Amino acid sequence: MAEPRILGIVLAGGEGKRLAPLTNDRAKPAVPFAGLYRLIDFALSNLVNANVLKIAVLTQYKSHSLDRHITMTWRLSNLLGNYVTPVPAQQRLGPRWYTGSADAIFQSLNLIHDERPDLVIVFGADHIYRMDPRQMWEQHLDGGAGVTVAGIPVPRREASAFGVIQTADDGRKIEAFLEKPADPPGLPGRPDETFASMGNYVFSTEALLDALHTDAADENSKHDMGGNIVPMLTAQSAAQVYDFQSNEVPGEAAGGERYWRDVGTIDSYFDSHMDLCDVVPAFNLYNERWPILTHIPSRPPAKFVHNDGDRVGKAIDSIVSNGVIVSGASVNESVLSPGVHLHSWASVDRSVLMDGVDVGRRAVVRNAILDKNVRVGDGVEIGVDKDEDRARGFAVSEAGVTVIGKGVEVLK
């Protein structure tokens, strides 16, 4: 059987309000992650590693830095007809923005008509995971479905926070797609678990086009992929689920638990960074057989200086990017992005510092996220007294993570 012609579509138009202030000046998929990456790099890497080399990224809100990152980083071979390209809201159907994820694709049907693919893979742009989508589309082709939805098993007691997939007795055919149900259904043979939708879909092109046209004509629809398109195909007995935990990625231990995190809130974003700092991280960035690809800035190696009494430059259980200078400061369970500079006797604990952050002498940063180019003055404390943080106008999450937006200078 010939390899199917595949078009990848990455949905990157969300505002990401729950990640504010990190999204005050950028689209959610452009938010930095793990020092070197942007959130969108994970979805794009999974597709490109699986040889999906024609990818359209649908953008909308505050998309400049996202467009710039894609254009400068994700340059594939034009000679071979490959591309990763940002596609802004084109208003081809009139002067209106996208009203939902399904409407975003419907307004961009020219992309599908131009490529004439056999399959359309639709991925979200803001989840942290490693996945080989080839196994998902192979199951899709074998099962003859109109859509295959990636599902991850989660404990039933936690599933009411997700879109939940109710399967038939075979554990594969989707009988219902439930939005945050109070009493989530268990899986066949696994009553304490249920499938949560990952927001990743494989469509047969004809099924997708038919569903999009039907949905566009429905004035009562929210024009959402998970809320409208998948339930429509489910009602037609044309939807099946793919179990993400069965996915085998080159370089990953066979049969191990597969990592996937929706980093849509400040606390989930922060927790995912802390996962990276574990001695044996829950998510392994160091898998060279399935790399997470991005642009690496041209900066010198990281540098640690001073070893004099209590003035010791050190970092423990931390990720330290290139261009970082730890000058007589102490770092613990933290992620330092390129160009971070920590001065003598500063203390950084359980924090995420983005590009160009400067932390002054004897300053303390604890349980905090500092966006790009934040400057913390000498002796300033961030994250130590949450009431004081709020009084200074900083955001504090439900779990007590202090967040400071881009370019803020905090002086004593």
Token pair recorded at residue 68? 């710039």
Confirm or deny that 98 is annotated as ligand binding.
yes
CA distance 146 to 340: 48
How far, CA to CA in Å, does 60 sit from each of 97, 104, 187, 262? 8, 9, 37, 20
Confirm or deny that 101 is annotated as ligand binding.
no
User: H/E/C letters for each residue in 93-135?
Assistant: CCCCCCCCHHHHHHCCHHHHHHHCCCEEEEEECCEEECCCHHH
Query: Phi-psi bin for 362: left (phi > 0), alpha (psi -120 to 50), beta?
Result: left
Token pair recorded at residue 366? 């604890």
CA distance 319 to 316: 9
CA distance 393 to 403: 10
By DSSP bridging, strand 311-312 and strand 307-308 are: antiparallel
Helix (H) or strand (E) holding 43: helix 40-49
Confirm or deny that 193 is annotated as ligand binding.
no
> Known binding site: residues?
98, 163, 179-180, 197
> Known binding site for alpha-D-glucose 1-phosphate: residues?
98, 163, 179-180, 197
